[in-house]
Amino acid sequence: MKAGSNLEKVLEKRLFAVTGELGPPKGNDVSVIKRKAELLKGYVDAVNVTDNQTAIVRMSSIATSSLLIQLGLEPVMQMTTRDRNRIAIQSDIFGATALGIKNMLCLTGDHHTFGNQVDAKNVHDLDSIQLIDCVRTMRDQGRLLGGEEKIEGEINIFIGAAANPFADPFEFRVIRLGKKVAAGVNFIQTQCIYDMNRFKEWMRMVRDRGLHEKCHILGGVTPLKSGGMARYMAKNVSGIIIPDEIIDRVVKAKKPAEEGIKICVEQIQELREIEGVHGVHIMAIEWEQMVSKITEMAGLLPRPKIE
């Protein structure tokens, strides 16, 4: 065991894991966190807490993760390299682990020009792969990046990262995953999957390199709410591919939201059949109330309770 988190235990027992996602409030209103936490509690093994996603200022992922622990949920604290240099990163990891956070997702982060602080200076002292290496060094060697000084205490973190099989160059995607594995990643959450053929092709390349045996891969899914959302994402979000037949299904449906949920459930069932996929990451963005329904319809309930 690397950290002994619930997510790690579920994955190590080879049970199909389920993670969710919670976006912190754009302020310090804790009731927002409580409301979303209630919608996710019992339906997922751990909850990702985003780190100022799309570069919009929100409550910090460390503080929100800590509040989730108090509310009885296990967080996966996301951390981006966009806003912190290696001093802040390592200091925040000390703090996060002291607060009981055991899972962390190492990300580069959305570019700051997408957000509400476009005049900011971005940092990118490390990239996501160097961040993985940094956390692993802290955990396994008990020392800081590039230093011999011993850390006071123990850093126990189950290290995660992202992978996007839908961005380009496609052939580089699996090389990049290989670098994340070499840097020490334990689990991977993918970008939202709609193009199942491309995902399966990527997984084949992952298996060819044996990477599925060196890290746990969780397929990312996001239920589509409406035809408009499907069309918007397909057209405007780089690194997301939505095949026309999926857009058509949502657009033509009498109840698009219900169709979106149905597609999501089908995707989860298809993902379960793919060798090397060890779980699903459900990103129901501002639609957390649907996670209970999706997990129930996909036969993922009840979630295991591991001591």
Partner 1 sequence: MIKAEQKPIDEILKYLNPYNKILLSGCGACVTVCHAGGEKEVELLASGLRMARQKIGKKIEVLEVTPARQCEPEFALELSETIEKVEAVLSISCGVGVQTLVRHFPKIPIFPGVNTSFLGETITHGVWEERCQACGNCILEKTGGICPISRCAKQLLNGPCGGSSKGKCEIKKEADCAWQLIYDRLKTLNQLYKLEEIIPAKRWGVESRDSGLRRIVREDLKV
Nearer to partner 1, 87 or 301 (CB): 87
Short-list 38, 66, 32, 65, CA closest to 50: 65
CB of 124 or CB of 293, closer to partner 1: 124
The residue among 71 and 234 lying less far from partner 1, judged by its C-beta, is 234
Task: Select 88 or 301, whichever has its Cβ closest to partner 1.
Answer: 88
Nearer to partner 1 by Cβ, of 228 and 239: the residue is 239
Minimal distance, residue 165 CB to partner 1, in Å? 9
- The residue length of the chain stands at 307
Q: Which amino acid is at 265?
A: V
Q: Report CA torsion sign: 278, 226, 61, 119.
A: positive
| Among candidate residues 158, 223, 216, the one with its CA nearest the CA of residue 189 | 216
Cα–Cα distance between 74 and 215 in angstroms, integer?
20
Using the CB atoms, write b or e for 30-46: b if 16+ within 10 Å.
bebbeebbebbbebbbb
CA distance 232 to 170: 22
Please state the closest distance from residue 241 (CB atom) to partner 1, in A. Answer: 9
Specify the residue, 171 or 275, whose C-beta has the smaller distance to partner 1.
171
Q: How far is CA 63 from CA 28, 105, 178, 188, 209, in A?
A: 10, 15, 32, 23, 38
178 vs 276 by CB, closer to partner 1? 178
Total Cβ atoms within 10 A of residue 232: 12
Residue ranges binding partner 1 (CB under 8 A):
82, 86, 108, 111, 113, 122, 124-130, 133-134, 145-146, 162, 164, 166-169, 171-172, 175-176, 178-179, 182-183, 191, 238-239
Comparing CB distances to partner 1, the nearer of 27 and 232 is 232
Compute the least distance from the CB of residue 114 to partner 1, in Å: 8
Largest CA distance in the chain: 63
DSSP state of 146: T
Shortest Å distance, C-beta 248 to partner 1: 22
In angstroms, give the least distance from the CB of 44 to partner 1: 23
What is the DSSP code (8-state) at residue 219? Answer: E
Least distance in angstroms from the C-beta of 53 to partner 1: 13
Closest distance between partner 1 and the C-beta of residue 133, in Å?
A: 7
Question: How far apart (Å, rounded) are the C-alpha atoms in residues 107 and 132?
Answer: 9
**Which amino acid makes up residue 14?**
R
Least distance to partner 1 from the beta carbon of 288, Å?
Answer: 23
